[in-house]
Amino acid sequence: MSWFEKLMPSRIRTENKEKRTVPEGLWSKCPDCDAVLYRAELERNQEVCPKCGHHMRIGARRRLDLFLDPEPREEIGAGVQPSDPLRFRDSKKYIDRLKAAQKATGETDALVAMRGQVKGIPLVAAAFEFGFMGGSMGSVVGERFVRAANSAYDHNIPLVCFSASGGARMQEALFSLMQMAKTSAALNRLSRAGIPFVSVLTDPTMGGVSASLAMLGDINIGEPKALIGFAGPRVIEQTVRETLPEGFQRSEFLLEHGTLDLIVDRREMRERVASMLAILTHHAPISG
Amino acid sequence: MNMNFLDFEQPIAELEAKIEELRYVGDDAEVNINEEISRLQAKSRTLTESIFSNLNAWQVSQLARHPQRPYTLDYITRIFTDFEELHGDRAYADDAAIIGGVARLDGKPVMVIGHQKGRDTKEKIRRNFGMPRPEGYRKAKRLLEMAERFKLPVLTFIDTPGAYPGIGAEERGQSEAIARNLCVMADLKTPIICTVIGEGGSGGALAVGVGDRMLMLQYSIYSVISPEGCASILWKSAEKASDAAEALGVTSSRLKELGLVDEIIDEPLGGAHRDPEDMAGRVRERIMEHMDQLQRLPLDQLVAARYQRLMSYGEFVEK
C-alpha cells in the first residue's frame, strides 16, 4: 500500500484486488453509437441498441430462440459433423481451427436448423453461427441446410433461413463451392412444390452464401444496415480503385437496387414473418 | 527469357532457342547439322516430358492461365459448325465476358455457353478479363432456358478468374444472378456437359458449371478461391500462393481423386496451347461420347440423376 492510500480512511479505500471494475459482461458498448448499455436491457431488446437501433450480431441458437415458439422444437441434422477431407493445413490445421471454433461457440458447425412453429405456424428454421469460422459454408452447413429444406418439403411447411456468413469455407476447397449448387438445388425443389422460402439476410451475408441460398428467397428480408454482397468491399475497392459509395452493400442499398423485398427490424421479425407466411400458406390471420 | 514459356519451362525454352539457332546456321552453312538438330529435338521432347510429368499445383495454375491457352471461342470454331452468337440479357446489357449461342456438333443442334477471355489488351478489356457481370449470367440463364425449350443439349466451357468484383456488378445483383443460375441448371430438362478449359474461378465458374458431366482439361484448375486470394487470407501473404494451390487441391488429378470431376481430358505435350487443333479434337471426341450417353436417358431420369449428384456433394461424418 502506498503512503497516499494509507492516508485514506479505510471505508473509502479500495484494495487493488477488488478494484471497482465493472464485472465482465455486465455492460456493453454499442459499436455504432458508442452508448454504454446495460447487458440485461440489451438482451431484453434482442441485441438491438435501444439508443440508436443498431443490430448487433447474434448467435444461431439465440436467433432461433428469439424467432421460434418455445414449443415444439426439434433440431435437424445435429448428427452431421465436420471432417477434414483434404487434411487442409495453412498456418494452422483445419482440424485445430474446427476444435477451436467448437470450443468458442459450443456448436459443432456453422448452421443450426430446427423444426418448430412461429405463432402456431409450423415451419423449419435455420440460422448461421457467424462465430463459427465466420459462418462459412462447408459440407456440414450444406448438408444440414438440405436436410432442413427436405424436412420442410416432407412436411409441406415453409422454410426460413437467417444467414450470417463470410461465404464458402476455404478449408474444404471445392467441396465448399459445391454446397452452393447443392443448397440451391434443394431450394429449387421447394420452389417447384410451392413451399415458401423466406431468406433473412443478416450482418454479414457475403460470397458463396449470398450467391446461393441467401438470395433465393421467395421473400428476401434484410436486417437494418446488414452488409450483404458477393465480393467483399475491400476486394472491390482494390479492383476498381475507387472509393465506395456511402452505404454501399448495406441492406438499405440493396433495397434501393431491388435485391431485397423489405427491411425488417429484429424486434418485429417474428410477427412480420409469421404474418407473411400465414398469407403465403393461406392460414388465418395471426392474432396477437 | 522467352515469354512463351513459363518459369519452370525455361530449360525447354533454352533448348528450343538452341535448335532455332542451329536451323539458322544450317541454312547458310554447307555442313549438315540436321542430325544435331533432331538429336536436340528429341532431347527437348524428353525434357518436356520429364518436366510435365511432375508439375505441382502452382505450375498447373500458371498453365491454366497461360496467355496463349486456347479460350472458348478457339474451341467453338474448331468443334462446332453453324455457330451463331446470341447477345444480351434482354434487360440491361451484353456482357462480352460470357458468350453463347446455337451451333451444331457433328450436325446435331446444341447450345454453347462459355466464359471468354481476351487475347490482346483491347480485347482483354472489352471482355473484362473473362470476369462476368450479372448481365453475363442472366444472358446465360436466358440461353439455358431457351435450350430447354428447343431441346438442345447444353455444352458449357469454363474459363474465368471469377465473377467481377465491381460496384455496378453489386448494384445489379451479382449474387442473385449466380444463385439463380444454380437453380436453373439444377433441373433444366436437357443434358448439360460442363468442361473446365482453363481457370474455374469459384462461384463465377459454378454459375455456368452445374450439369450432368464435369470434365476438366488436364492442366486446368477449379477452386473455391484463387490460390493468391486464399494465401493472402489464410497465410496473410499472396506469396504463399503455391502452398495454397497445393492445399486447395485445384488440379484436375486431385479433383478426380476426390470424386468432384468425372473425367480428365489429357492435353498435348507441353499443354493445350502447344497444339490447339489437337486439343480441340480431343475435347470434341469426349463431349460427343458423353452427349451420346446422356441423350439415351429419358429426361426425367437425367434430371433425377443430376439432383442426386448435387445432393451427394460433401464430406462429413454422421454421429
From the first residue on, what is the mean pLDDT of each consecutive set of 10 residues in chain B (319 residues)?
80 89 72 82 92 94 96 98 98 98 98 97 97 98 98 98 96 98 98 98 97 98 95 89 95 96 97 97 98 97 98 96
pLDDT value at position B163? 97
- The number of C-beta contacts closer than 8 angstroms across A and B is 199
Please say whether the beta carbons of A53 and A223 come within 8 A: no
pLDDT value at position A100? 97
Average confidence (pLDDT) per 10 residues, chain A, 288 residues: 66 56 76 92 94 96 98 97 94 95 97 97 98 98 98 98 97 97 98 98 98 98 98 91 92 97 98 97 84
Q: Give contacts of A231 with chain B, Cβ < 8 Å.
A: 163, 165-166, 169-170, 174
Please say whether the beta carbons of B255 and A174 come within 8 A: yes
**CA dist A113 → A77, A160, B32 (Å):** 7, 10, 79
Look at residues B196, B242, B246, B202 and name the one whose alpha carbon lies nearest to residue B220.
Answer: B196
Side-chain-side CA neighbours of residue A178 (13 Å)? 23
Cis, bond preceding B165 (omega within 30 deg of 0): no
pLDDT value at position A259? 97
Look at residues A266, A231, A149 and name the one whose alpha carbon lies nearest to residue B166.
Answer: A231
pLDDT value at position B37? 86
Q: Give contacts of A178 with chain B, Cβ < 8 Å.
A: 206, 260, 310, 313-314
Look at residues A152, A96, A172 and name the one whose alpha carbon lies nearest to residue A277.
Answer: A152
Q: Give contacts of B183 with chain A, Cβ < 8 Å.
A: 184-185, 187-188, 191, 216
Nearest to B182 among A90, A139, A180 (CB): A180
pLDDT value at position A5? 66
Kindly report, residue by residue over A136-190, the tens digit of the pLDDT: 999 999 999 999 999 999 999 999 999 999 999 999 999 999 999 999 999 999 9
Nearest to B224 among A173, A213, A215 (CB): A173
- Each as own residue / partner, the long-range contacts of residues A27-30 (CB below 8 Å, 24 or more positions apart, any chain) are A30/A54, A30/A56
Q: What is the ipTM of this complex?
A: 0.95
Most B CBs within 10 A among A137, A147, A178, A199, hence the mutation to make, goes to A178
Kindly report, residue by residue over A81-105, the tens digit of the pLDDT: 999 999 999 889 999 999 999 999 9
Nearest to A81 among B206, B243, B317 (CB): B317
Most B CBs within 10 A among A180, A218, A230, hence the mutation to make, goes to A230
